[in-house]
Amino acid sequence: MNIHRIHGAGLFAALTALFALTVSAPARADTVTDWNGIASTAIVANAGQPPPVAVLSFAMVQGAVYDAVNAIDRGHRPYLAEPAAGPSDSKDAAAATAAFRVLVGLFPLQQSTLQPLYDTSLAAVQDTPRGAKAAGIAAGEAAAAAMLAARANDGRFGPFTPVNGTTPGVWRPTPPLFAPDPAPWVGNVRPFLVPDAAMLRTDGPNALTSRAYAKDFNEIKKIGSLSSTTRTPDETNAAIFWQDHAFGLWNRVFRTLATSRHLDIVDSARLFATVNLAAADAAIGCWNDKYHWNSWRPITAIREAASDGNRATRADPTWTPLFDPATPVATPPALVTPPFPEHPSGHNCAGGAIVGTLQYFFGTDRIAFSASSNKSGTTRTFRHFSDALQENIDARVWAGIHFRTADLQGARLGNKVARYLHRHYLQPVH
């Protein structure tokens, strides 16, 4: 829930909680948190990977960091491997090394940028007891090597030719750019957690002639239009806010949570691993599902509604969504309808996985946090994890790019991954 909507006693309570969060959290970070920030810069800013590709890289980095740190702590089951390590080995050296080696493995051209950061990180690590630093480095090297080996030939960047439709309901490139999907192959990548992406299959979009389809159609036609008179300024802000790079935004939230909740390096490593591994499988399942259903976007559906066979829909050949280059944003690129099939919503597949995982990790939904978006240039505050997911669901409708059914089913797909991870991975050692 956005704080702008809370009034009276509710506003005071929310502000009090936010103030308490701020003053109780010292400006500190551990090596795991530091290297998540470095990884975010390398993956999102420097490599420029789009969200469904970036999350695969985040999962590789954070999974290796977790295995390196956990090999020393031994409190939970490893993700891939448990390198040889002792309880007094340096967790900081292990975390920095695992992150650095995976990043260099993914982005060898960035080594000259990453090397000084790694050297600085290691220079701050004390060799106490003697040999602890070298042993931590060895654990990090082993965890990184295991991750890079495990993800070799996993389907990333493989061939894939989307099918562009011409018949009612089938996806085709959308105006104004008519751009192709930059990463249609994501759905064919081997999952990190679930046995098969097909187990995440959604129920699919509503039949074009159904009442449910007409309901979604007429909702987005009205509130998702560039010229909508029913969408509020706050809803417009939320729509633009959530169009920031999803995993750049969410990993900023994870760093904030690790700091504000005073997580130690072991718990930080597990937090970053769980949320990014879950989000990666949600992206894989989502893209697999997108090309299974291959459904058209609202801009196509509304402009070509005369062909859908539904008496309750009306075509508007000039209808334009809020996500149009005419809508101002804080940072480029301009807003457009995303260039891939509509169902399910990628942002909400990710959101369902992330929010579900956060709820499992912290054992509660009731944790207040703030998040900042480079796309809108604003900060929004939420009282619960689920409030952020609900706003993300609404925001894609307000943006004019997703029918509500695609948002809801995407969130459920992501939550399936969160449940699977909770039951099968990174469990405590008893």
Q: pLDDT at position 27, please?
A: 38
Q: pLDDT at position 208, please?
A: 98
370 vs 256: CA distance, rounded Å: 8
Q: Domain of residue 10: give its range.
A: 3-152+189-424
Q: pLDDT at position 81, please?
A: 86
**Domain-located, residue 227:** yes
Please report where in the chains the tokens 């509660």 appear, as a residue. Answer: 364
Q: Quick check: 164 and 146 in contact, CB under 8 A?
A: no
Q: Quick check: 285 and 56 in contact, CB under 8 A?
A: no
Number of domains in the chain: 1
Which residue type occupies 429? V
**Domain-located, residue 229:** yes
Which residue type occupies 126? Q
Please report where in the chains the tokens 């997108």 appear, as a residue. Answer: 290
Q: What is the CATH number of the domain that holds 116?
A: 1.10.606.20
200-229 per-position pLDDT tens digit: 999 999 999 999 999 999 999 999 999 999
Q: pLDDT at position 14, please?
A: 39
**Domain-located, residue 366:** yes
**Domain-located, residue 142:** yes
Closest to 101 measured CA to CA, from 127, 138, 133? 138
| Tens-level pLDDT at each residue, the chain (430 residues) | 333 333 333 433 333 333 333 333 333 569 999 999 999 999 999 999 999 999 999 999 999 999 999 999 999 999 998 999 999 999 999 999 999 999 999 999 999 999 999 999 999 999 999 999 999 999 999 999 999 999 999 999 999 999 999 999 999 999 999 999 999 999 999 999 999 999 999 999 999 999 999 999 999 999 999 999 999 999 999 999 999 999 999 999 999 999 999 999 999 999 999 999 999 999 999 999 999 999 999 999 999 999 999 999 999 999 999 999 999 999 999 999 999 999 999 999 999 999 999 999 999 999 999 999 999 999 999 999 999 999 999 999 999 999 999 999 999 999 999 999 999 999 999 7
**Domain-located, residue 341:** yes
* Structure tokens belonging to residue 70: 């956990």
396 vs 224: CA distance, rounded Å: 8
The DSSP output letter for 188 is G
144 vs 139: CA distance, rounded Å: 9
pTM of the model: 0.92
**DSSP letters along 58-81, please?**
HHHHHHHHHHHHHHHH--B--SS-
Q: pLDDT at position 29, please?
A: 67
Q: pLDDT at position 430, please?
A: 79
User: Does residue 8 come out as left (phi exceeding 0), alpha (psi in the -120 to 50 range) or beta?
Assistant: left
Q: Quick check: 147 and 80 in contact, CB under 8 A?
A: yes
**Domain-located, residue 166:** no
**Domain-located, residue 178:** no
Residue 74 vs residues 68, 156, 266, 272, 337: alpha-carbon distances, Å = 10, 31, 10, 17, 46
**DSSP letters along 81-92, please?**
---S--TTS-HH
